[in-house]
Amino acid sequence: MGGTEPGTEAEACERVRAAAARPERLRIVGSGTKAGLGRPPQDEASLSARGLTGITLYEPAEMVIGARAGTPLAEVEALLATKGQMLPFEPMDYRGLYGSTGEPTIGGVASINNSGPRRINAGAARDSLIGVRFVNGKGEAIKSGGRVMKNVTGLDLVKLMAGAHGTLGLLTEVTFKVLPANERVATLVIPGLDDARAIEALASALGSPFEPTGAAHLPAGIGGSEARTLVRIEGFSDSITYRLGELRRLLRRFGAPETLDGEAGAALWRGVRDALPLAEPREDALWRISTAPSKGPALTAAIAAKREARWFFDWGGGLVWLSTSAAGDAGAEAIRTAVRAQGGHATLVRAPDAVRAAVPVFEPLPDALMRVTAGIKAAHDPHGIFNPGRMYAGV
> Is the pLDDT at 234 greater than 90, yes or no?
yes
Fold of the CATH domain 184-273: Alpha-Beta Plaits (3.30.70)
> Is the pLDDT at 354 greater than 90, yes or no?
yes
pLDDT band at 84 (very low <50, low <70, confident <90, very high): very high
pLDDT band at 11 (very low <50, low <70, confident <90, very high): very high
Q: What is the mean pLDDT of residues 94-105?
A: 96
- pLDDT digit string (tens) for 90-99? 999 999 999 9
CA distances to 221, 234, 241, 311, 364 from 255, rounded to whole Å, are 19, 22, 19, 22, 41
- pLDDT digit string (tens) for 303-340? 999 999 999 999 999 999 999 999 999 999 999 999 99
> Is the pLDDT at 141 greater than 70, yes or no?
yes
> Is the pLDDT at 154 greater than 70, yes or no?
no
Q: What is the pLDDT of residue 3?
A: 84
- Type and span of the H or E element at 170: strand 170-177
pLDDT band at 290 (very low <50, low <70, confident <90, very high): very high
pLDDT band at 146 (very low <50, low <70, confident <90, very high): confident
Q: What is the mean pLDDT of residues 131-145?
A: 97
Q: What is the mean pLDDT of residues 185-201?
A: 98
CA distances to 128, 214, 238, 374 from 131, rounded to whole Å, are 9, 27, 36, 24
Q: What is the mean pLDDT of residues 373-377?
A: 97
Report the percent of the chain where pLDDT is more than 70: 97
Tell me the pairing of strands 26-29 and 45-48.
Answer: parallel
For domain 1-181+365-395, the CATH class is alpha beta
Q: What is the pLDDT of residue 156?
A: 84
DSSP conformation letters of 196-259? HHHHHHHHHHHTSTT--SEEEEE-TTSSSSS-EEEEEEEE-HHHHHHHHHHHHHHTGGG---EE
Lowest mean pLDDT among 37-46, 150-159, 197-206, 263-272: 150-159
Q: What is the overall mean pLDDT for the chain?
A: 96
pLDDT band at 150 (very low <50, low <70, confident <90, very high): low
Q: What is the pLDDT of residue 51?
A: 96
Fold of the CATH domain 276-358: Alpha-Beta Plaits (3.30.70)
Domains 184-273 and 276-358 share a fold: yes
pTM, to two decimals: 0.95
Separation between Cα atoms, residue 350 and residue 95, nearest integer Å: 12
Q: What residues does each domain of the chain span?
A: 1-181+365-395, 184-273, 276-358
Q: Regarding predicted confidence, which is higher, 341 or 146?
A: 341
